[in-house]
Amino acid sequence: MENKATVLILRIRRKIQKFCQKHSRGLGVLYKLIANLLLFVAINHLYGKTEGLPIILAGGLAVICTGIPSKYTYLASIILTTFHLSQTSWDLVVFYLAAVLLSYLMVFRMKPEAAVITAFTPLFFHLKIPFLLPLLVGMFSNMFGIGAMVFGVLFYYFGVYVKDVVLLLSSATGGENIIAVKNVMDAFSSDSKCLLLLGAFVVAATLTYIFYHQSFDYAWYLAVLAGGLSGFLVYLGGGILFDIQSKNLGYVITILCSMLIAAVIQFFRCIIDYGSVEYIEFEDDEYYYYVKAVPKVTTIGEDFTTSSVTVEERPVKHL
């Protein structure tokens, strides 16, 4: 790692980190405001309402969510989604809120912070990088996060199907509004692409999670590679096996972009020097510990050094 290009990259990384740390409060508020605004704009776009009251409501919710904990962003997205559904059919509102209650009972009651994943799922689709979601979930969350991702994808496609039945509802009488829920359910059951994409997401997130929490060298970056490739292979293989027409070339590009973004995020989060690994053994009254210590890489002046070890515990043997 002792080359000028590496040192230059590490110095740039360090300068960016110092700048972010110096202005952490202001940048944090700005980041939350932009992320929330993009999310609510994406929800408006999903339901085909991008002007007038919906955009005002999106802006107001974005400002409110900037000043409160991120886990409440999911509640704000529910409010905005409910508003859109109420403009279409109240049967859809009841159906959606029932699904939200199910997601709470299955995931968020035990892991409230995972609600952020469900809330921001539409934004990944809106930005055309949906495969970045399972990679980030596998890297920084757990099995509850994967469950939250599943609900996020289902809620996104729910919005897609609702948009498709709006024209049908516009010509229906009041007594025929129940057809909205029926059409949405029929769309779920017949849309093989949705189920295939959901399966690819689950496989990608699970493999990323498994690899990311291993102790072998470069496990973090191999996790990104394993998650991205497995997700694409499942999507491509499933499309061929079940004869599903899909834009595979487009997904190849989005998966490659997603893998690159995930690797860059990990690079700025933490990089470690595998050439200076140490193995430490110690004991207490009950256990004997085998510890793998991997130093983090930092830059100083024209060179780089290692500091602040990252400790990975090995399997423990009981005395």
pLDDT 10s digits, 144-184 = 999 999 999 999 999 888 887 776 666 555 554 456 778 88
> Cβ contacts of residue 305 below 8 Å, gap of 6+?
297, 298, 299
Q: Is the pLDDT of residue 318 over 60?
A: no
Q: Is the pLDDT of residue 314 over 50?
A: no
Distance CA 165, CA 92 (A): 11
Encoded tokens for 236:
């491509």
144 in Cβ contact with 114 (< 8 Å): yes
pLDDT of amino acid 249: 61
Query: Who has greater pLDDT, 64 or 1?
Result: 64
Encoded tokens for 95:
């159906």
Distance CA 118, CA 151 (A): 6
- 48-92 pLDDT, tens digit per residue, is 887 778 888 889 999 999 988 888 899 999 999 999 988 877 888
Distance CA 107, CA 221 (A): 28
Residue 318 main-chain phi, psi, to 5 deg: -80, 135
- 89-142 pLDDT, tens digit per residue, is 788 899 999 999 999 999 998 988 899 999 999 999 999 999 999 999 999 988
Q: What is the pTM of this model?
A: 0.83
